[in-house]
Chain A
């Protein structure tokens, strides 16, 4: 069975703080893909990153970085120097054989 767990329901930080959003997944398959999406208060879903199971290289994109560790089945997302515009719900997801499995999301509040 596939499962994605985002244990942090809600996180509040002050602007310019760094924040890490945790994602732990379960799958018995060796080939799968992991995603992060952002859902701002306006409600749309914005794709952030995709990583396949054979690529454990960490990735950095501006203030965003992702740490993928197969040994711990984790795909954590770090925002450096957070900004108010980062306030949103962030979802981690796993795709396997065309089926997406989403975590329940982490709501990030960035206060000025």
Chain B
């Protein structure tokens, strides 16, 4: 059981480039989400998904796209990278069983946009 995995661990982009951050989980969780963490601001929700084929926006969705074609994978796409997107990105998955929801986080991806 690998839990939640994210790739890459670190990435440097130039302004205007696009890329995809990968996230996968092997726990058969229905709920998955993406956050960005900036200094002094905690984590902010970018996009989330409550199941395959269903996605919705969080607090800060602009500049990002997501899709959920399978239960396991939830990639985050940066369409045209900007320096303001320099951040640490966390993917998370969770289940809700009898009201005991627990969220598991991936190790994070550090993104630097020059």
Contact = CB atoms under 8 A, between A and B. Distances in A.
Contact of A98 (B48, B107, B108): B48
Given A98-B31, A98-B48, A99-B45, A50 B102 contact: yes
Nearest to B88: A43
Interface residues of A, number: 23
A24 to B, nearest CB: 14
Given A103-B42, A104-B40, A44 B108 contact: yes
A73 interface: no
A37 B35 CA distance: 14
Interface of A is mostly: strand
Nearest to B33: A100
Contacts of B105: 37, 44-45, 47
Interface in A87-108: 91, 93, 95, 98-105
Interface in A26-49: 33, 35, 37, 43-45, 47
A35 B41 CA distance: 17
Nearest to A47: B102
A56 to B, nearest CB: 15
Interface of B: 31, 33, 35, 40-45, 48, 50, 56, 58-59, 88, 90, 92, 99-105, 107-108
